[in-house]
Amino acid sequence: MTQDMIVVLDLGSEESTRIAREIRALGVYSEIHPYDLTAEQLAALPNVRGILLAGGPNRVVDGREIAPSQAVLDSALPMLAVDVPGLPQLRHVNTLPHDEQMCQELLRQFLFEDCKAQPNWTVKNFIDDQVELVRRQVGDKKVLLALSGGVDSSVVAALLLKAIGSQLTCVHVNHGLLRKGEPEQVVRVFRDNLGANLIYVDAVDRFLDKLAGVADPEQKRKIIGAEFIRVFEEEARKLEGIDFLAQGTIYPDIIESGTKTNKAVKSHHNVGGLPEDLKFQLVEPLRQLFKDEVRACGVALGLPDDMVYRQPFPGPGLGVRCLGAITRDRLEALRESDAILREEFRNAGLDKKVWQYFTIVPDLKSVGVRDNARSVEWPAIIRAVNTVDAMTAEIEEIPWPVLHKVTRRITSEVKGINRVCYDLTPKPSGTIEWE
Ligand code: XMP
């Protein structure tokens, strides 16, 4: 193992994430662990050089004040306590300074003088270490991965291929709600270029039949989520001798699903929603990484840029942009109009500037003129927003020539669309998606 590590022990801090990132910014790998980490678990972590005890306002859990185990406190490792009352025997500060320089100075002292840590956190070292850890965990057993083609599952697939090659089986479920070219790209990159065992499941008819006539957005989401698990389970049961399930869980998923000291924002499907009778052990090599670090790993593992820097895409896919009851022809109009928008945004350099951009096709028609005759067709609505955390969002000012070109292309190339509208609404009052 190459990288030194500092453990950030979460004792109710609201700043564990900031602390972990500050430590990494100084070049030392850090991992956040819950307050009840045992001495055995600590001993199993590789190359730990010190522990930062991160206390804070969430120090009461189930009516009880939390504390690290005495065995952990008794370890010979250097420790720094931030806002943890009742441990005077340790080096202690009341808060981590918000002034960047002071904060760095404090951490630098702790990391490099107290812990004698080496600043050897790099993406390459991280990958090398995870390859080693995955090999240790998995041995000669087999691993299954649901590969959606999103950033996280793609990076996990690439990392596991490097670690265990043919012991990995990837399952890609095409539910018919992916963007143009996506299923083909997954097959090309992973099966053709990287030589992965990839099972491609064409479940398009199955999903679209289940969704036929269903107009309620929540019902649509439920059907898509439940059907996805059913298809994946069916494929998993066909395979023999699988012991491990790999997942693209990343650190923000864990925070959103709730840690021992912080309530859940929303349950995340990677963390909460596994079918109970599928008795797999989990392999989650990215669970301590933030999104930018995951992307950096993807680049280092040789994945194509458009896979690694993909804009966010909702789990239910185009299903929540083909408003109301989905029909195949309207879904196709949506997929084609979205592909044109993406192509023209890329040509104009807007793909690097706009956080999320897509089209929506509602279930309504208006009158237009095509080939000198009346045509009654759908509109395509363009949504292009910038945001930091998706809780609020601003619309992007798109240059008129780009909007004109997109409009010309969509109305002439996409069957069934005779108008293009631009959604000017920030969030709030709108949400980013229309359903
Ligand atoms: P809203 O529409 O709530 O979207 O402003 C915020 C962000 O979340 C994405 N989104 C989803 N992602 N499953 C997902 O995985 C969903 O059901 C879902 N709905 C919205 C949306 O694309 C945006 O990035």
CA distances in angstroms from 417 to 241, 352, 429, listed in the order given = 49, 27, 27
Nearest-atom index, ligand 1, CA of 315:
15
CB 367 near ligand 1, within 6 Å: no
Closest to 172 in 3D by CA, of 190, 155, 160, 152: 190
Predicted local distance difference test score (pLDDT) of residue 269: 56
Residue closest via CA to ligand 1's atom 22 equals 314
Q: Is residue 224 within 8 Å of residue 177, measured between CB atoms?
A: yes
Distance of CA 147 to the CA centre of its chain: 12
Instruction: Give which of 199, 204, 203 is closest to 186, Cα–Cα.
Output: 199
What is the C-alpha to C-alpha distance for residues 214 and 210, in angstroms, rounded to an integer? Answer: 8
The answer to whether 317 is a known ligand-binding residue is: no
Q: CA 73 to CA 76: how far, in whole Å?
A: 8
pLDDT, average across residues 102-113? 97
Q: How far apart are CA 211 and CA 224, in angstroms?
A: 8
| Closest ligand 1 atom number to CA of residue 221 | 17
Dihedral sign (CA 57, 59, 65, 71): negative
Report, in this order, helix, strand and coil percent for the chain, each rounded to 5: 40, 20, 40
Q: Distance between CA atoms of 294 and 288, rounded to whole angstroms?
A: 10
Does residue 428 have a cis peptide bond before it, meaning omega lies within 30 degrees of 0?
A: yes
The DSSP line for 261-324 is SS--SS--HHHH---TT---EEE-TTTT--HHHHHHHHHHTT--HHHHTPPP--TTGGGGTB-S
pLDDT digits (tens, 9 = 90+) for 359-371: 999 999 999 999 9
pLDDT of res. 278: 66
> In sequence order, which residues have a C-beta less than 8 Å from that of residue 351 and are 6 or more positions away?
311, 342, 345, 357
Q: Nearest CA to 282 among 376, 141, 409?
A: 141
CB of 317 shorter than 6 A to ligand 1: no
User: Angle of helix 123-138 relative to helix 291-300, nearest 10 degrees?
Assistant: 90
User: Is the C-beta atom of 31 inside 6 A of ligand 1?
Assistant: no
For ligand 1, the distance from its centroid to the CA atom of residue 265, given in whole angstroms, is 14
Residue nearest to atom 9 of ligand 1 (CA): 314
- Check whether 257 is labelled as a binding-site residue: no
The reported pLDDT for the residue numbered 407 is 98
Give per-residue pLDDT as tens, 262-295: 877 666 555 445 566 667 899 999 999 999 999 9
Under the banding of pLDDT at 50, 70 and 90, the label for residue 106 is very high
**Predicted pLDDT of residue 272:** 45
Ligand 1 atom at minimal distance to the Cα of residue 312:
24
Please give the mean pLDDT across all residues of the chain.
94
CB 383 within 8 A of CB 359: yes
| Residue 269 CB less than 6 A away from ligand 1 | no
How remote is the CA of residue 93 from the centroid of ligand 1, in Å? 39
Separation of CA 202 and ligand 1 centre (Å) = 24
Supply the pLDDT for residue 268. Answer: 59
Other beta carbons less than 10 A from residue 375's beta carbon: 13
**Among 126, 112, 198, CA closest to 161:** 198
**Ligand 1 geometric centre to CA of 34 (Å):** 28
Q: Cβ(390) to ligand 1 under 6 A?
A: yes
Percent of the chain exceeding pLDDT 70 equals 97
Give Cβ neighbours of residue 137 (< 8 Å, ≥ 6 apart).
Answer: 244, 283
Residue 165 has pLDDT above 60, yes or no: yes
**pLDDT tens per residue, range 72-86:** 999 999 999 999 988
CA of 206 to the centre of ligand 1 (A): 24
**DSSP annotation of 427:** B
Q: For the chain, how many residues are written?
A: 435
Ligand 1 pocket mutation pick from 148, 153, 433 by most atoms within 8 angstroms of CB: 433
Establish whether residue 265 lines the binding site of ligand 1, counting it when its CB lies within 6 angstroms of any ligand atom. no
Q: Is 153 annotated as a binding residue?
A: yes
CA Rg, the chain, in Å?
Answer: 25
Helix axes 204-211, 217-238, angle to 10 degrees: 150
**162 CA distance to ligand 1 middle (Å):** 32
150 marked as part of a ligand binding site: yes
- Decide whether any atom of ligand 1 lies within 6 Å of the 333 Cβ: no
Cα(29)–Cα(196) distance, rounded to whole angstroms?
30
How much distance in Å is there from the Cα of 391 to the middle of ligand 1? 10
Check if 409 has its Cβ closer than 6 Å to any atom of ligand 1. no
Best mutation site among 432, 434, 435 for ligand 1, i.e. most ligand atoms within 8 A of its Cβ?
432
CA dihedral sign, ordered 202, 205, 210, 215: positive
Query: β-strands 79-82, 5-11: how paired?
Result: unpaired
Residue whose Cα lies nearest atom 20 of ligand 1: it is 314
How is residue 79 written in tokens?
Answer: 């420790």
Enter the pTM of the model. Answer: 0.92
Q: CA 42 to CA 45: how far, in whole Å? A: 5
Atom of ligand 1 nearest to the CA of 433: 2
Q: How far is the CA of 38 from the centre of ligand 1 (A)?
A: 37
Q: Tens digits of per-residue pLDDT, 174-226? A: 999 999 999 999 999 999 999 999 999 999 999 999 999 999 999 999 999 88
Residue nearest to atom 3 of ligand 1 (CA): 431
